[in-house]
């Protein structure tokens, strides 16, 4: 098999993958992106580039991906359907592929009311499920979304999606995951895991349907800086569950930041050693990218495995 993505070859080879996340800045400078990429490049296999997360205008995920690729990390470009119709989506992703992007994460996108342009219009010409399907068809059948043939140089992305094991109704979470895999998702990154018991129940249902054999599932973990951050997620972020015990642990810690890192490391070790069907972790250190190398090292995931990969030979 020809691998266009190093991340795909890493996962298909059976290695426990590590991905992280870099949030583009609210300006046109690339310094912070490149700085974080240099910090992470030896500790992760690829890194997500968010697409105007929380509906706040930021540097383009595709432009950011070019900077990160130049620093030696494989980007995972996020693409939301919130802001673009199907013409713009295809144009942007053809451009992203031409610039060297090989990993794609398909998302709906946060509602604009949460961002800095609350009166802007959402597009949602297609939904995230349709985006997964249409991008896989573009790759495998060489067809534009409209069905017209792509005569050459079709974009052959390694296609990913997200899953939230914590939103209600709980039983529907696995149904939705299965639909995304049926549509063509090859890897899945989960929402931040704080309630390990519920996540284990979710994975039991995933394994019962054999979904862990059909797509690579990466468990999302987030180091928290303070008990207030934990409390905010617990009470202010829909579709998230943060146990009271975690809030209290951070509240009683002499150094909450160190404790937050310690908790994250414990979670990674537990996931890797005790939960079957997980193929890697996705470390979302929100506005705290500099702690990712420490977490990866102390979790026993460093040095990263090396896979022989030459994108020029596979393109």
Identify the pLDDT of residue 313: 59
Give CATH for domain 6-314: 3.20.20.220
pLDDT in tens, 66-87: 999 999 999 999 999 999 999 9
Identify the pLDDT of residue 315: 62
Q: Which of 297, 243, 290, 238 is nearest to 265 (CA)?
A: 297
Specify the pTM: 0.96
Residue-range domain boundaries for the chain:
6-314
The confidence band for 171, taking pLDDT boundaries of 50, 70 and 90, is: confident
Identify the pLDDT of residue 314: 56
pLDDT in tens, 190-248: 999 999 999 999 999 999 999 999 999 999 999 999 999 999 999 988 789 999 999 99
Identify the pLDDT of residue 1: 58
Distance CA 82, CA 80 (A): 5
Contact predicate 64/22, CB 8 Å: yes
- Rg of the chain over Cα atoms, rounded to whole angstroms, equals 19
Identify the pLDDT of residue 40: 97
- Between 284 and 237, the more confident residue is 284
Please give the DSSP secondary-structure letter assigned to residue 125. S
Identify the pLDDT of residue 129: 97
Identify the pLDDT of residue 125: 97
pLDDT in tens, 105-141: 999 998 888 889 999 999 999 999 999 999 999 999 9
Q: In whole numbers, what is the pLDDT of the chain averaged over residues?
A: 95
Neighbours of 248 (CB within 10 A): 12
Q: In this model, does residue 291 exceed pLDDT 90?
A: yes
The confidence band for 311, taking pLDDT boundaries of 50, 70 and 90, is: low
């Amino acid at each position: 098999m020809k691998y266009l993505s190093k991340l795909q070859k890493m996962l298909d080879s059976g290695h426990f993958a590590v991905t992280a996340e870099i949030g583009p800045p609210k300006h046109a400078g690339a310094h912070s992106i490149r700085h974080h990429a240099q910090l992470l490049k030896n500790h992760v296999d690829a890194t997500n580039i968010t697409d105007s997360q929380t509906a706040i205008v930021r540097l383009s995920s595709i432009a950011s991906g070019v900077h990160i690729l130049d620093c030696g990390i494989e980007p995972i470009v996020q693409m939301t359907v919130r802001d673009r119709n199907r013409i713009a989506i295809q144009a942007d992703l053809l451009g992203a592929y031409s610039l060297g992007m090989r990993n794609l994460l398909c998302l709906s996108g946060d509602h604009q009311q949460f961002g800095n342009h609350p009166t802007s219009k959402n597009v949602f010409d297609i939904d995230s499920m349709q985006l997964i399907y249409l991008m896989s068809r573009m790759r495998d059948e060489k067809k534009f979304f409209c069905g017209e043939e792509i005569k050459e140089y079709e974009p052959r992305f390694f296609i990913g999606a997200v899953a939230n094991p914590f939103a209600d109704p709980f039983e529907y979470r696995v149904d939705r995951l299965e639909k995304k895999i049926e549509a063509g998702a090859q890897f899945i990154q989960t929402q931040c895991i704080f309630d390990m018991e519920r996540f284990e129940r979710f994975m039991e249902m995933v394994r019962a349907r054999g979904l862990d054999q059909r797509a690579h599932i990466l468990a999302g973990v987030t180091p928290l800086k303070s008990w207030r951050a934990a409390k905010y997620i617990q009470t202010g972020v829909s579709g998230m569950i943060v146990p009271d015990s975690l809030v209290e642990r951070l509240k009683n810690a002499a150094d909450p930041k160190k404790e937050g890192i310690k908790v994250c490391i414990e979670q990674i070790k537990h996931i890797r050693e005790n939960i079957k069907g997980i193929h890697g972790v996705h470390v979302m250190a929100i506005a705290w990218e500099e702690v990712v190398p420490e977490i990866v090292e102390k979790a026993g995931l460093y040095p990263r495995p090396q896979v022989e990969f030459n994108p020029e030979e596979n393109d």
